[in-house]
């Protein structure tokens, strides 16, 4: 089974996201900030990462940069999932190595199609 790491400082969002990715057939891990996510990736590199932008300790974009420098850090597909919804943020995310970008609010259909588009799910 593929694994998905959900990185978000809101417990509610993590819970909603967990339900969605589990329904899509992933196992789910959670992290509440970029630093914790980084530590989890050192232990176990997931297939997919659903990543919030604004979080305490280490934000999403800093995490992404650090992740992509890790050995094996190119492996996970990273999908930003954030209330930041302007072109500037989108561009920074994609040039920082994100594979897709979701603007909150999101629903299961959006996550599913984005996962299909980047090859995390069969279409």
Partner 1 sequence: MRIEDFDVYKDLLMEKSGLVLTPDKSYLLDSRLTPVAKKWGFETLDKMSAALRGVADPGLIKDIVEAMTTNETSFFRDSRPFDIFRDSIIPSLLEIRATQKRFKIWCAAASSGQEPYSLAMVMKEHAGLTGWNFDITATDISTDILDIAKAGIYSQFEVQRGMPITMLMKYFEQKDEKWHIKDEIKNMVQYKYFNLLDSMASLGKFDIIFCRNVLIYFDKETKAKVLAKMKAQLAPDGYLFLGGAETVIGITNEFVPAQGLRGVYIPAEAAQSAAAPAATQTA
Which residues of the chain form contacts with partner 1 (CB under 8 A)?
85-87, 90-91, 94, 100-103, 106, 109-110, 113, 116-117, 123
Min dist. Cβ of residue 115 to partner 1 (A)? 12
Looking at the Cβ atoms of 71 and 109, the one nearer to partner 1 is 109
Contact 119, 77 (CB under 8 A): yes
- DSSP, collapsed to helix, strand or coil, labels residue 11 as helix
Min dist. Cβ of residue 25 to partner 1 (A)? 18
103-114 burial code (b ≥16 CB/10 A, e <16): eeebeeebbbeb
Contact 116, 95 (CB under 8 A): no
Looking at the Cβ atoms of 56 and 119, the one nearer to partner 1 is 119
Min dist. Cβ of residue 17 to partner 1 (A)? 15
């Amino acid at each position: 089974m593929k694994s998905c790491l959900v990185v978000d400082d809101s417990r509610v969002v993590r819970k909603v996201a967990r339900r969605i990715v589990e329904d899509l057939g992933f196992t789910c891990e959670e992290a509440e900030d970029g630093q914790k996510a980084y530590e989890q990736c050192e232990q176990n590199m997931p297939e997919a990462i659903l990543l919030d932008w604004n979080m305490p300790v280490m934000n999403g974009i800093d995490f992404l940069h650090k992740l992509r420098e890790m050995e094996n850090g190119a492996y996970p597909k990273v999908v930003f999932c954030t209330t930041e919804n302007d072109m500037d943020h989108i561009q920074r995310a994609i040039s920082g190595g994100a594979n897709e970008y979701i603007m909150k609010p999101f629903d299961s259909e959006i996550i599913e199609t984005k996962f299909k588009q980047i090859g995390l799910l069969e279409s």
